[in-house]
Amino acid sequence: MQSILVLFAHPKFEHSKTNKALVSKIQNREGVTFHDLYELYPDFNIDLQREKELLSKHDVIIWHHPFYWYNCPPLMKQWIDVVLEFNWAYGPQGNALENKKCLNVITTGGAREVYCTSGNNHYSVNEFLRPFEQTARLCGMEYLPPFAVMGTHKITTEDLELHTHQYDRLIDALQQGKTFDITKHCEFLNDTQLINQTPKK
């Protein structure tokens, strides 16, 4: 079974109905380490050695965060800047993260249709996430398409339940090392057949 590290960053987690539902579904699963950065490092003073050891012990790295100004919250950016050191995570001798899988799990207040060339935000979520993709690739990791829960400002109970089920299926698939049916035009892992299944009643 593949071990999974969920690096979670949400400065207002207690106010996020969507993220609370997603987290409650997966945080106590066997083989999953749920790592709440804002709970551990409210002063932004990151324990470098601790974080490196955590990364080394896991096969899959998930950056789970809300979309803040088309990016991640500041503590997660701080974590990337501090932890992914030259000649450890990348560089001539930097192979500590090589061949690990990596992806973003994100929530957005705006609906899916506003993240495109004709929408209010003009660019797709995948385009906004390019820095994460390139970071993962520079570190020798396999970057997967994101898992996204969008339109959270108006999300229904039924849709939220569906997304939490999909997140659970995603974790299960990652743990089992399953192959996702990712095509050239696949925007989100939610869209893959492996994840996009209606829960049984």
Domain ranges of the chain: 4-191
CB–CB of 76/34 below 8 Å?
Answer: no
Q: Is 53 exposed, middle or buried (0-12, 13-18, 19+ CB in 10 A)?
A: exposed
Residue the block writes with tokens 């955590």:
54
DSSP element (H, E) containing 161: helix 157-175
| 87-95 long-range contacts, CB within 8 A, separation 24+ | 88/52, 89/139, 90/138, 90/139, 90/140, 94/139, 95/140
The partner residues of 126 in beta bridges, in order of sequence, read: none
What's the CA gap between 52 and 192, in Å, rounded? 31
Looking at residue 135, its amino acid is T
CA distance 148 to 141: 20
The superfamily in CATH containing domain 4-191 is Flavodoxin domain (3.40.50.360)
Digitized pLDDT (tens) for each residue of the chain, 201 residues in all: 999 999 999 999 999 999 999 999 999 999 999 999 999 999 999 999 999 999 999 999 999 999 999 999 999 999 999 999 999 999 999 999 999 999 999 999 999 899 988 989 999 999 999 999 999 999 999 999 999 999 999 999 999 999 999 999 999 999 999 988 887 678 899 989 888 765 554
Identify the DSSP state of 59.
Answer: S
DSSP assignments along 66-123, one per residue: E-BTTB--HHHHHHHHHHS-BTTTBSTT--TTTT-EEEEEEEESS-GGGSSTTSTT-S
Handedness of CA 156, 158, 161, 166 (dihedral sign): negative
Cα–Cα distance, 37 to 46 (Å, whole number): 9
pTM: 0.95
